[in-house]
Structure 1
Amino acid sequence: MIKKALLAEFQHEAENTKKLLSMIPNDALSYRPQPHLWSVGEFAAHIAEIYNWYQVTFNKDSFEMSTYTYDKGDISKTTNILKKLENNIKIAQQAIENFNESEYMNDWSMTINGVNSFPPMPKAQVIRGFLFNHLYHHRGELIAHLRATGNQVPSLYGPNYEESQAIM
């Protein structure tokens, strides 16, 4: 039952993520509002990479971040990021589909050099917070970056600004 709900949300939100990333023009990829913030391309690559974390979250009880190799890939073109996204979404969906529902309440932890980054928590909570909500948070940041560059963004949960103005 939980798996069915998570899978439905995952599929809906994966489509929203594809819709958002596909609207990034190549000339916006290097934009960053301040020197210390990620560029549009770095945000997009990070969002695509979050889907790569599903396997380890669903299939292991702990995640040692210091051994993880972050691969943002070639972020010089939106099509490169979209290819990575598509591949990672397939792998992530398989992780959800193959997961044993009886393990949703098993504790999961993330460590950095052996030190817990947060207290262990049930996998169901980690899936919602570390995977799903984390992704939504970064999509919001990416939308703000795209708006700052004068680019349009898709409607994800109802009309976007441009669509709402056309309705009025």
Structure 2
Amino acid sequence: MSIQKALASEIHHETENTIRILKVLPEDKWDFKPHEKSMTLGELANHVLELHGWVSFVFTKDTFDFHTDYIPSKFQTVAEMLAKLEEMKNENLAVISNLSEENYLSNWALKSGEHTIMEAPKAAAYRFVITNHLVHHRGQLTVYLRMLDVPLPGIYGPSADEKQS
């Protein structure tokens, strides 16, 4: 299997997982936060969404600088988020389709101004900065939803809410 085909499969799968979570978000609870140090439901959902867009940052740039490149997502509705996610998926698939092994293995840096947060091959940055980060925050969203008594969709298999008793 090629790098492009493997990454495209993962992008499709993780996008579908995020779609399932976004579709059950209660927009009337956008300001909910389980703890004073937590993001609100809306902020966390937007962060999950924007992580999907970072695929193109990793594979089309050598550096991502929070001071110059980061634009926080601030969508207010699930419909807007779903439309943006579809757009991001298509952009990601286009970027991946042209990905060379040389680019995949070249170095990438995550910065905050002059401070380098991380340097790694783009393959590792994709895994750590995007995929693992996305899974982590999507998992947090499921905790928020559970606390709000929203039935959870399955992500990597059926949820307890989907299982027949």
The verdict on a shared fold, with TM-score over 0.5 as the criterion, is yes
Once residues 84 and 48 of structure 1 are traced to their aligned partners in structure 2, the CA distance between those partners, rounded to angstroms, is 8
- 1:161 is aligned to 160
The aligned residue for residue 94 of structure 2 is 94
Q: What is the CA–CA distance in structure 2 between the aligned matches of 1:105 and 1:69, rounded to whole Å?
A: 23
In the alignment, the residues of structure 1 paired with residue 117 and residue 71 of structure 2 have an alpha-carbon distance, to the nearest angstrom, of 17
Residue in 2 that maps onto 1:80: 80
Task: Verify: 1:117 aligned to 2:149, yes or no.
Answer: no
User: Residues of 1 paired with 2:54 and 2:34: CA distance?
Assistant: 27
Query: TM-score scaled to structure 2, two decimals?
Result: 0.91
Which amino acid in the other structure matches residue 82 of structure 2?
A: L
Segments of structure 2 that go 5 or more residues without pairing to the other structure are none
Contact 1:48 1:88 in 2 (8 A): no
Q: Give, as a single letter, the amino acid of the residue that structure 1 aligns with 2:13.
A: H
Query: How many residue pairs align between the two structures?
Result: 164
Alpha-carbon displacement from aligned partner over 1:10-68 (angstroms, at most 9, x marks no partner): 11111111111111122222211112211111111111111221222101111122102
Q: Secondary structure at the match of 1:7?
A: helix
Give yes or no for the alignment of 1:146 onto 2:145.
Answer: yes
Cα deviation digits, residues 64-88 of structure 1 (max 9, x gap): 221024232332x222222222222
User: Which consecutive unaligned segments of at least 5 residues does structure 1 have?
Assistant: none
Residue pair 2:11, 2:89 contacting (<8 A) in 1 also: no
Runs of 4 or more above 3 Å deviation: none
Distance 1:74 1:8, change over 3 A: closer
Return the letter of the residue paired with 1:124.
A
Asked whether the equivalents of residues 15 and 85 of structure 2 are also in contact (C-alpha less than 8 Å), the reply is: no
Cα distance in 1 for partners of 2:45, 2:74 equals 11
Q: Distance in 1 between matches of 2:56 and 2:63?
A: 11
Shift of 1:149: 0.4
User: In structure 2, how many angstroms separate the alpha carbons of the residues matched to 1:108 and 1:17?
Assistant: 25
